[in-house]
Homo-oligomer: A and B are copies of this chain.
């Protein structure tokens, strides 16, 4: 992995949103093959200090992007996916830290992914994109932080697949990371989580518009991707939160078209209308093949892969570790997050576990701002 010398010197505070890119020549992949070249789209906030050790990397989840923070609309939780946590005086304090977020490889927000042009064919990769893993994503991020002049990361943090990346950072680059916050993520996902992901993927691939992955831009499998998202949204919430919000209410708002343009069968429940809306929104903004590859990376991730045992992997960790579980999360059960924290402690690591008590399920890491900040503050920055 050799970085191209298109070094971008970015140490000034941004006043407007700007997505930058960094391209390097190749990445050899954990499961074989390589990706070449590799572009990462990224954003930064705050300034890197002279010693290059005040950088924080935040890692996004499945359908996220580099836009964790919005400098033009910093108080709006919807303008950047971790907006309430990032900014001057916030937990990820951009007055003191240089915060970096990059779109993961496999993504569709500027980084190399299945919708990127395959240089060998000059057409989008589609399903000729190689299988990528969380470790591959992290190794690409490593190239980026070196490129940015970061000598040591003050922290890596993320939730869900972002949490898997944070954990992988601690294991893959133990001497480069001071602190790591793993939120709503565990050593490896459950059989149930794999099962839900596979149903979502089959839904995408069942859509005739998928064309074995060779759909044209904006002509992708919108129906299949919408259905996949409907399912995913259930797994991101909880029985309790859905009951609080929807229960058995009939649709309250204007009816949204269903993914299949089907008529309602005996009325429409509000929860259905909500899911159609969420499905439609994702289908408009996200690439279906990226969904396949990234959700698969989530399934495949096992922090122990490539080491003789889980203990061997965890013994590598030198960072201070914070594990945050969410009480109602059924995609990454809190018991699994706590179990991992205990494992790290058991091999002599510096790990603490905090549980966010929330009815919002997995999604709490993108919703429970106060509780999340409180959990993170147990881990001083």
Contact = CB atoms under 8 A, between A and B. Distances in A.
Interface in A121-154: 131, 133
Which of A227, A247, A275 is the most central at the interface, judged by chain B CB atoms within 10 Å of its CB? A227
Given A206-B203, A269-B299, A293-B265, A275 B198 contact: yes
A219 interface: no
A205 interface: yes
A248 B202 contact: no
Which of A224, A237, A248, A292 is the most central at the interface, judged by chain B CB atoms within 10 Å of its CB? A248
Interface stretch (A78-86, A91-99, A255-263, A365-373): A255-263
A234 B266 contact: no
A262 B198 CA distance: 11
Given A195-B230, A275-B198, A190 B243 contact: yes
Contacts of A188: 248
A372 B226 CA distance: 39
Contacts of A246: 191
Given A234-B199, A239-B330, A333-B239, A260 B192 contact: no
A114 to B, nearest CB: 11
Interface in A195-251: 195-196, 198-199, 201-203, 205-208, 223-224, 226-227, 230-231, 234, 237-239, 242-243, 245-248
Interface residues of A, number: 55
Interface string A180-191: 000000001111
A300 interface: yes
Interface string A3-40: 00000000000000000000000000001000000000
B300 A196 contact: no
A242 B195 CA distance: 9
A178 interface: no
Given A191-B269, A266-B31, A202 B300 contact: no
A296 interface: yes
B202 A259 contact: yes
Contacts of A231: 196, 199, 231
Nearest to A271: B191
A195 B236 CA distance: 13
B203 A227 contact: yes
Which of A192, A199, A237 is the most central at the interface, judged by chain B CB atoms within 10 Å of its CB? A199
Given A190-B239, A259-B206, A296 B195 contact: no
A201 B269 CA distance: 14
Nearest to A258: B202
A267 B296 CA distance: 10
Nearest to A208: B208
A272 interface: yes
A236 B330 CA distance: 15
A199 B230 contact: yes
Given A131-B266, A296-B265, A239 B192 contact: yes
A315 interface: no
A194 interface: yes
A205 B264 CA distance: 12
Contacts of A262: 201-202, 205
Contacts of A234: 192, 195-196, 199
A191 B293 contact: no
Q: List 10 A-B pairs, minimum CB-CB distance, nearest first.
A: A131-B266, A191-B246, A191-B242, A205-B260, A191-B271, A192-B239, A205-B262, A199-B231, A265-B296, A206-B260
27 contacts: A31-B266, A133-B266, A188-B248, A190-B243, A191-B243, A191-B246, A191-B248, A192-B237, A192-B239, A192-B243, A194-B248, A194-B269, A195-B230, A195-B234, A195-B275, A198-B275, A199-B227, A199-B231, A202-B258, A202-B260, A203-B206, A203-B227, A205-B258, A205-B262, A206-B207, A206-B260, A208-B208
